[in-house]
């Protein structure tokens, strides 16, 4: 397999693992959040949905597809994984050029995703309210979750490289 295809595959796997770990952390934090914060965050959401679920609803509505709630949830989860896999693939292609950052390239990648996706792109696309609509706890949770995503994505690529002798 060519080096580009090898990196693409590793990035896809690493991005999926990163999203899975990020979700574990996020759901744990949600389960320990105070009610007032959750109420404020729910009020800020577009249509009462988390951003990937709002994007999924937009997509199915655009294609005139009416899905039961459980299947609509699966569409949202799929979009969320794609939002981790696609950047993971790009990161895997460029990771070797970031050697000077050492261990910190993963966390920096995660912070970059948090700022670009959560704070700018997703609200600009209309799938979330602007950053000031959410409580500070939502931003803190998103920041730490993306640190986990970035670090996990980088470490999985590192381990896959070790296993495959790349």
How far is 117 from 41, CA to CA, in rounded Å? 17
Given CA atoms 105, 111, 114, 116 in this order, what sign does their dihedral have? negative
Rounded to 10 degrees, the C-alpha dihedral 110/112/117/120 comes to 150
- Tell me the chain's radius of gyration from C-alpha atoms: 17
Q: Which residues contact 133 (CB under 8 A, 6 or more apart)?
A: 44
Calculate ∠ Cα 161-164-166, nearest 5°. 55
For the stretch 108-126, pLDDT in tens is 999 999 999 999 999 999 9
What distance in Å separates the CA atoms of residue 114 and residue 92, rounded to the nearest whole number?
A: 18
Q: What is the dihedral of CA 67, 89, 151, 122, to 10 degrees?
A: -50
Q: Tokens representing 97?
A: 């050029």
The model's pTM: 0.91
- Model confidence band, residue 154 (pLDDT cutoffs 50, 70, 90): very high
Q: Which of 42-46, 99-103, 108-112, 129-133 has the highest mean pLDDT?
A: 108-112
């Amino acid at each position: 397999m060519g080096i580009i295809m090898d990196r693409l595959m590793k990035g896809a796997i690493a991005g999926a693992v990163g999203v899975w770990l990020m979700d574990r952390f996020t759901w744990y934090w949600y389960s320990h959040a105070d009610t007032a914060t959750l109420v404020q965050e729910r009020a800020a959401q577009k249509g009462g949905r988390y951003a990937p679920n709002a994007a999924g609803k937009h997509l199915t509505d655009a294609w005139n597809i009416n899905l039961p709630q459980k299947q609509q949830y699966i569409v949202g989860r799929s979009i969320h994984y794609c939002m981790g896999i696609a950047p993971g693939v790009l990161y895997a292609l460029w990771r070797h050029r970031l050697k000077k950052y050492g261990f910190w390239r993963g966390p920096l990648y995660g912070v970059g995703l948090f700022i670009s996706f959560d704070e700018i792109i997703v609200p600009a696309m209309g799938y979330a309210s602007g950053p000031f609509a959410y409580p500070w706890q939502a931003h803190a949770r998103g920041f730490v979750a993306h640190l986990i995503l970035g670090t996990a994505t980088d470490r999985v690529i590192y381990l896959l490289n070790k296993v495959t002798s790349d």
